[in-house]
Structure 1
Amino acid sequence: MLFGEEHVKRYRETGGAEGHDWNDSTVLLLTTTGRRSGEPRTSPLIYQRHGDDLVVIASNGGDVKHPLWYLNLEADPDVEVQVRDEVFPARARAATDAERPELWKLMTATWPPYDEYARKTARKIPVVVLERR
């Protein structure tokens, strides 16, 4: 099963032929700029389409802290996204309070453990909208 750096490597090498479809879900590669290092950091993330946008969840498995990729995009919301073999620039933003319920439902239909992760933590898990630039 692909995970972490190996997932990113195989996804890139195969244009997403390996790694896009994962555990009955779909995965994109999100590249942020390290808020301290300034270096590119790539994370494989479960996503769904919502209109022209893509949606990901900063769950960190229900940990008390946000994932590092989310902290990076808070510092610099200009990101790079790869979906299959298409690579494009995007701007990341947290879903508005009005958008969040619909997008959360979309994502939990894709990956039901998100509800469990939300119960495990006191933090409000961010729903992130990726808008193509």
Structure 2
Amino acid sequence: MMADTDGSVKISPVRWVAEQARLYEESGGTRGTDMRGSPCLLLDYVGRRSGDWHRTVLIYGHDGDDYLIVASNGGATDHPLWYKNLLEHPRVRLRVGTRRFEAEAETLSPEEKRRVWPHLLEIYPPYQDYQDRTDRDIPVVRLRPLT
């Protein structure tokens, strides 16, 4: 992991994610805000083992004033690390465009997921391919702003 410019956040070791996260943050949320036309946010979360802050870039949707993210991990058999960390430390920091704020993360129930899934597929259709290629039920997470 690489430290953010202020040294307080470790950025994803995945090169393209790190580059996009830096561009997004360094521009104050005016650049790097989408992935192939799908809107992206920066998610800062606490590592369950290290206690350090980490940052990744994720596509998001909306449900009212809340943000929705998908723990797809590209359809892999295991949940992404950021999701495992949210289960233990649900308080997160977000950058959505030029706005920075804290939020509380909560995994949606199966009923809630069914309701919002069509909206998420409109934003990023490959999510359905990811779900089809894994036996794992891909979680959808609600990020409820605290400020």
Query: Could you tell me the TM-score, scaled by structure 1's length?
Result: 0.95
Q: Structure 1: any 5+ residue segments left out of the alignment?
A: none
1:102 to 112, 115, 128: 115
Cα deviation for residue 48 of structure 1 reads 1.2
Q: Which runs of 4+ in 1 moved over 2 A?
A: none
Contact 2:33 2:40 in 1 (8 A): yes
Aligned: 1:73 with 2:86 = yes
Tell me the matched-pair count: 132
Following superposition, the deviation at residue 131 of structure 1 comes to 0.4
How many angstroms apart in 1 are the aligned matches of 2:140 and 2:16? 21
Q: 1:84-95 maps to which residues of 2 (within 5 A)?
A: 84-95=97-108
- State the distance in 2 between where 1:104 and 1:15 align: 30
1:20 corresponds to = 33
Residues of 1 paired with 2:86 and 2:79: CA distance? Answer: 11
Identity of aligned residues (%): 40
Letter in 2 for 1:61: G
What's the offset of the Cα at 1:64? Answer: 0.4
Amino acid across the alignment from 2:59: I
1:41 to 25, 43, 54: 54
Tell me whether 1:61 sits opposite 2:74 in the alignment: yes
Q: Which moved more, 1:12-21 or 1:65-74?
A: 12-21
Question: What's 1:120 paired with?
Answer: 133
Residue 3 of structure 1 deviates from its aligned partner by 2.7
Q: Secondary structure at the match of 2:111?
A: coil
Structure 2 CA distance for aligned equivalents of residues 5 and 36 of structure 1: 21
Over aligned residue pairs, what C-alpha RMSD do you find?
A: 1.1
- Displacement of 1:21 in angstroms is 2.5
Instruction: Report Cα offsets for 1:72-111 as digits up to 9, x if no partner.
Output: 0001100011101111010000112221112111111110
- Calculate the TM-score normalised by the size of structure 2: 0.87
- Which structure is higher in RCO with an 8 Å CA cutoff and minimum separation 6? 1
Separation in structure 1 between the aligned mates of residue 118 and residue 76 of structure 2, nearest angstrom = 20
